[in-house]
Amino acid sequence: MKTRVAGSKTKTPPASMLYRQRFRVSYSYPVHFTSGLFNRGNTVLDTVFRAFPETPRRVLVYVDDGLASAWPTLIPDIQAWFRARPEAMELVRDPEIVPGGERTKNGWNVVQAIMSTIGAAHLCRHSYVMALGGGSVLDMVGFAASLVHRGIRMIRVPSTVLAQCDAGVGVKTGMDEHGMKNFAGTFAPPAAVLVDFEFLKTLSAKYRVGGVSEAIKVAMIKDAVFFKDLCRSARRIAAGDNRLLADAVRRSAILHLEHIRTGGDPFEFGAARPLDFGHWAAHHLEILSHYRLGHGQAVSIGLALDTCYAHREGLVSRAERDALLRLLESLGLPTWDPVLELADGTGYPVVLKGIEVFREHLGGQLSITLPDGIGRKREVHTVDMAVMRECMDWLKRRVAVIERDPT
Ligand SMILES: NC(=O)c1ccc[n+]([C@@H]2O[C@H](COP(=O)([O-])OP(=O)(O)OC[C@H]3O[C@@H](n4cnc5c(N)ncnc54)[C@H](O)[C@@H]3O)[C@@H](O)[C@H]2O)c1
Ligand SMILES: [Zn+2]
């Protein structure tokens, strides 16, 4: 029997109900290309800080240890800059040096220390964390900053080729965990990016040319003219031409930015990730080599491998494949490494397991970006492992021939 409440009608609740929540959030951040950020007369930093809305503005600064030792006056220069402009931004405490290189993304001690410092300095969501360094330091400091108060604003000052032309301008942070590159990470667009070409002058050859592989990656799938220009300038870049290097960095950074803005999937909900062309192998090669191969070198091998595969699949002509290989080689970048030969107990190359790891990381159906000619791309959803193995063997033979006769 139904109970009636006096004065009310009996109402059966609906079995289910849908309220469709929908909103958009738009992002905008400046990316400045400059030289000598902290030099007297350079107004970029001033302009950027003054455009930030709320005052007082407060910042904590973290500096990559490799950058700090290559530029011994950098920290005093930063301190002097802030001392001279107390109204632009308050430097909450002296800049702190953090470990540079991939090791900084392995382990949580520094992340926790940064979070504690942010807490002790009472930074709020309207404050800033500024990181100067390579892609690894930007990933690690950015990760820490993105966690506190669900995200403190981040100012990035990338200081390697790779960080300036790719890692530093995008929307992601990452930590290596669970035996995987970037297993943990966040989407956290920066408040500003300040690219200072001066910093490139002190890079070792490994990191000077290594980062160019990301420029080649994006040129190969998006911009045939840029690819041609890189082919023309590669030898001079490798020989130390900083003007050509800066030009390549700027064009690559803009192509990455354009992709994030217009690609339709800035936060990577889909399964396709064109900017990760060559990366299923690259990430695995870094791990298998215990990071002897830098990210740039590993990407170079990944590009070589996937372009050979694209040739076998009829997407890339022999001439186009060879142009890519010659471009990598003329920069002194590797196209093969003995780590490709590491095999499991059944003789299966361990690197090929990177394809499944990559699929799992992206989620959904396997989606690998391959070049479709030069300057265009195509997604493929299956990979013929036998053909991929043949490509690895072919690259090994090619490298052996070049080593015997470098002319
Ligand atoms: N978040 C992203 O979107 C994204 C994109 C691409 C790559 N990454 C990540 O970036 C990392 C690689 O970054 P990287 O190639 O910049 O290398 P890196 O950050 O590991 O730095 C390489 C070395 O250069 C030193 N260094 C930095 N600046 C210097 C300078 N100006 N002069 C002399 N030495 C300097 C560092 O101390 C380090 O020893 C990888 O972990 C990769 O996964 C992230
Ligand atoms: Zn990369």
CATH code for the domain in which residue 284 is found: 1.20.1090.10
- In this prediction, residues 379-394 reach a mean pLDDT of 95
Assess whether 233 and 327 both reside in one domain: yes
Question: Structural domain of residue 319, as residue ranges?
Answer: 215-263+271-404
- In this prediction, residues 243-259 reach a mean pLDDT of 98
Assess whether 321 and 180 both reside in one domain: no
Domain count, the chain: 2
Question: Ligand 1, closest atom to CA 172?
Answer: 1
Residue 1: per-residue pLDDT: 45
Asked which of 160, 178, 203 is the last residue of a domain, the reply is 203
Question: What is the rounded CA–CA span in Å between residue 257 and residue 251?
Answer: 10
- The answer to whether residue 305 is domain-embedded is yes
Assess whether 93 and 221 both reside in one domain: no
Assess whether 154 and 223 both reside in one domain: no
Strand partners, 176: 106
Residue 4: per-residue pLDDT: 52
Assess whether 137 and 233 both reside in one domain: no
Residue 55: per-residue pLDDT: 83
Question: What is the rounded CA–CA span in Å between residue 238 and residue 9?
Answer: 83
Residue 91 has pLDDT above 50, yes or no: yes
Residue 75 has pLDDT above 60, yes or no: yes
- The answer to whether residue 13 is domain-embedded is no
Assess whether 284 and 324 both reside in one domain: yes
- The answer to whether residue 11 is domain-embedded is no
Tokens of 17: 């109900």
Residue 403: per-residue pLDDT: 86
Helices (H), 239-317: 242-262, 279-288, 295-312
Assess whether 115 and 240 both reside in one domain: no
Q: Which ligand is nearest to the CA of 300?
A: 2
- Please, which residues have CB within 8 angstroms of residue 192's CB and are 6 or more apart in sequence? 29, 30, 31, 32, 48, 155, 156
Question: What is the rounded CA–CA span in Å between residue 383 and residue 42?
Answer: 50
Q: Which one, of 249, 257, 254, 102, lies nearest residue 170 by Cα?
A: 257
Catalytic residue among 2, 11, 172, 353: 172
Task: Confirm or reject: Cβ of 142 under 6 Å from ligand 1.
Answer: no
Task: Confirm or reject: Cβ of 203 under 6 Å from ligand 1.
Answer: yes
Assess whether 199 and 220 both reside in one domain: no
Question: Ligand 1, closest atom to CA 100?
Answer: 37
Question: Mean pLDDT of all residues in the chain?
Answer: 94
Per-residue pLDDT band for 365 (boundaries 50, 70, 90) equals: confident
What is the sign of the dihedral through the CA atoms of 184, 91, 84 and 51? Answer: positive
Assess whether 130 and 167 both reside in one domain: yes
Residue 9: per-residue pLDDT: 61
172 classed as catalytic: yes
- The answer to whether residue 100 is domain-embedded is yes
Amino acid at 251: R
Per-residue pLDDT band for 335 (boundaries 50, 70, 90) equals: very high
Assess whether 178 and 285 both reside in one domain: no
What is the helix (H) or strand (E) element at residue 139, kind and residue range?
helix 135-147
Task: Confirm or reject: Cβ of 223 under 6 Å from ligand 1.
Answer: no
